Amino acid sequence: MNGLMLALFTSSIDLTGAQRFLLMFPLCLSIAVVYKTTRCETLRELPGAVLLLWVTIVVGMFAVGLGFWVLFTSLV
C-alpha cells in the first residue's frame, strides 16, 4: 500500500488535451466553494451562490479563451 501511495506522487500521469481541459471544472468549483464559504452569512444560501459563481467563472474563462483565440487567428 505504501508503494502505491508513493507512486502517485513520484510518477507522472499522462493526460490528453481534453483531460487537462476537463480538470478546469473541479478547480473552478473548489475556488467557488472556498470563496463563497468565506462570504455567505448563512449556510442555506451557500449552494446557490457557489453554483452561480462557478458558472460565472467557467463562462468567463471560456470568453477569455475565445477572445484570445480570435485575436490569435486574426493576427496569424
Angle between helices 24-39 and 46-75 (to 10 degrees): 130
| pLDDT attached to residue 69 | 96
| pLDDT attached to residue 60 | 97
In a domain, 18, yes or no: yes
In a domain, 29, yes or no: yes
Boundaries of domain holding 68: 13-75
| pLDDT attached to residue 52 | 98
Q: How many CB atoms lie within 10 A of CB 40?
A: 15
- Stretches where the chain sits below pLDDT 50 are none
Rounded to a whole number of angstroms, the CA Rg of the chain reads 18
In the chain, the number of structural domains is 1
| pLDDT attached to residue 12 | 83
Place of cell 452569512: 41
